[in-house]
């Protein structure tokens, strides 16, 4: 799967595969993942829990658990440099400075025994070699920038003293402290109420525009995707099964899994009190993955054995619209 030649690319992920050593043997979490993020672009990575979205993010950041997590194949090019070939010290210079990450659960991402100001200040101490007082002042400035009231007071507090929405803003402040070129946002609105979700998304959009950063937004919420993303990759069981612009994907979904996701959310133009369509079953475990069409058991459609046993190609079915070419699950 390739991208248009004219697109200016900040991040290129090519043929990325990730496996984990487990008690029952090696299990493949990602299988030949390909996508690009252009300068100033917001790319959405969507799918159910267990599809490999967070593993993709951790792979880019070189934060897979060691020694179990391995990357047997693939390249992750950031501004033309393969992150997988960098030394640990060089990768630490990139991580947090040029690529920032907003982690899924802020209470786990924050140190419970360190003040908020000190935790944000670590970014400036590490990457900008600032004095402690200057780092503290910059931390307060970032808290103000992400919309936290009384930032000097909040900087003195600990994570448990803040609400969920405020903790998420702190994590965003940490990720954006060094004005990174790429921000990876892993489920940034999980466990937040609808009002706070809207505030966080508006904040991310505002900061992205002011910093001119690119964003890789990982979510299972198609509503968030529709509101924020330029392009979407739909991921299922460690593979990207469909990729298109947001407008094209919502107007013309071509893979059965994409159609299932879209059918499972309520629509403003839908018939009131209509029962939503559910995708039966669950994402298969890593030990159950087949080489061929992985959505076959949940599709409700008959698949000949060769479609389960042989890996399927990707096809560009219209300009910039790619789909895994299963003749049963996709209109390809």
186, two tokens: 């892993």
| 7 pLDDT tier (thresholds 50, 70, 90) | very low
Mean pLDDT of 202-219: 89
The secondary element (H helix, E strand) that includes residue 155 is helix 151-155
pLDDT at 6 over 70: no
Determine which helix (DSSP H) or strand (DSSP E) holds 107, and give its type and residue range. helix 106-109
Q: What is the pLDDT of residue 249?
A: 95
Q: Note the residue count of the chain.
A: 332
With CA atoms as reference, report the closest residue to 53 among 246, 321, 234, 305: 234
Whole-prediction pTM value?
Answer: 0.91
CB environment 124-160: b (16+ within 10 A), e (fewer): bbbbeebeeeebbbbbbebbbbbbbeebeebbeeebe
Pick from 291, 296, 292: nearest CA to 279: 296
Residue 329 CB burial class (10 angstroms; 0-12, 13-18, ≥19)? buried
3-state secondary structure of 285: coil
- Per residue in 230-259, pLDDT (tens digit) is 999 999 999 999 999 999 999 999 999 999
What are the residues whose beta carbons fall under 8 Å from the beta carbon of 7, sequence distance 6 or more? 36, 38
What integer pLDDT is reported at residue 4 of this predicted model?
39
pLDDT at 1: 43
- Quick one: pLDDT band at residue 210, thresholds 50, 70, 90? confident
Query: Residue 302 CB: number of other CB atoms within 10 A?
Result: 8
pLDDT band at 332 (very low <50, low <70, confident <90, very high): low
Pairing label, strands 42-46, 214-219: parallel
| Contacts within 8 Å (CB) and 24+ apart, 59-66 | 59/16, 59/18, 59/30, 60/11, 60/13, 60/99, 60/184, 60/216, 61/95, 61/99, 61/101, 61/184, 62/86, 62/91, 62/95, 63/95, 64/18
Q: In this structure, are residues 185 and 212 in contact, taking their beta carbons and an 8 Å threshold?
A: no
**Mean of pLDDT over the chain:** 89
Q: How far is CA 1 from the centre of its chain?
A: 19
């Amino acid at each position: 799967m390739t991208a248009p030649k004219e697109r200016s690319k900040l991040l290129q992920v090519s043929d990325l595969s990730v496996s984990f050593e487990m008690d029952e043997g090696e299990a493949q979490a990602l299988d030949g993942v390909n996508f690009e993020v252009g300068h100033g672009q917001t790319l959405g990575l969507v799918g159910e829990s267990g599809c490999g979205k967070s593993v993709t993010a951790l792979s880019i950041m070189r934060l897979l658990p060691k020694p179990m997590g391995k990357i047997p194949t693939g390249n992750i090019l950031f501004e033309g440099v393969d992150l997988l070939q960098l030394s640990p010290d060089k990768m630490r210079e990139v991580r947090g400075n040029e690529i920032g990450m907003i982690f899924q659960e802020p209470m786990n991402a924050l140190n419970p025994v360190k003040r908020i100001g000190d935790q944000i200040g670590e970014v400036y101490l590490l990457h900008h070699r600032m004095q402690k007082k200057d780092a503290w002042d910059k931390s307060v400035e970032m808290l103000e920038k992400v919309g936290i009231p009384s930032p000097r007071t909040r900087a003195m507090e600990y994570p448990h003293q803040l609400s969920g929405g405020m903790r998420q803003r702190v994590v965003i402040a940490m990720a954006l402290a060094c004005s990174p070129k790429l921000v990876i946002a892993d489920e940034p609105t999980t466990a937040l109420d609808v009002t706070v979700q809207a505030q966080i998304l508006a904040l991310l959009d505002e900061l992205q525009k002011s910093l001119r950063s690119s964003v890789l937004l990982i979510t299972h919420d198609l509503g968030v995707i529709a509101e924020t993303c330029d392009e979407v990759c739909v991921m299922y069981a460690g593979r990207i099964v469909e990729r298109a612009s947001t407008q094209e994907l919502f107007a013309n979904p071509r893979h059965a899994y994409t159609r299932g996701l879209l059918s499972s959310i309520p629509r403003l133009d839908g018939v009131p009190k209509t029962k939503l369509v559910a995708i039966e079953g669950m994402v298969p475990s890593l030990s159950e993955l087949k080489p061929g069409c992985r959505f076959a058991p949940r599709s409700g459609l008959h698949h000949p054995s060769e479609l389960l046993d042989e890996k399927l190609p990707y096809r560009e079915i219209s300009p910039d619209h790619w789909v895994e070419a299963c003749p049963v699950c996709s209109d390809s």
